[in-house]
Amino acid sequence: MADAPMMQAFFSSGHAVDVVLLVLLAEALWLKWQGRDWPMILGALMPAVLMMIALRGALTGASWPMIALPLALSFPIHLYDMRRRGRQGD
């Protein structure tokens, strides 16, 4: 299991979350290229981005407010997105 310390370092440094954030950025750019508008893209992806930021903080030993704040902010944005989708039928 020579890979175990390397994977542990990859996750504990927060770099695993960085990879996920890059994938979310690529998804946002792809959606924009597909003709979606920024409010739709941000409403759909921002909760995931904020949860990943909270996860990164938890993995790297951030203080609890630095974990709780982005996690708490993700919920009202999610509600906005759900309401927007309900009106537009997305």
The pLDDT of residue 30: 98
pLDDT 10s digits, 18-42: 999 999 999 999 999 999 999 999 9
Q: What pLDDT score does 61 carry?
A: 95
pLDDT, tens digit, for every residue of 42-59?
999 999 999 999 999 999
What are 4-19's pLDDT values in tens digits?
Answer: 899 999 999 999 999 9
Distance CA 18, CA 24 (A): 10
Nearest residue to 50 via CA among 69, 64, 65, 70: 70
pTM above 0.95, yes or no: no
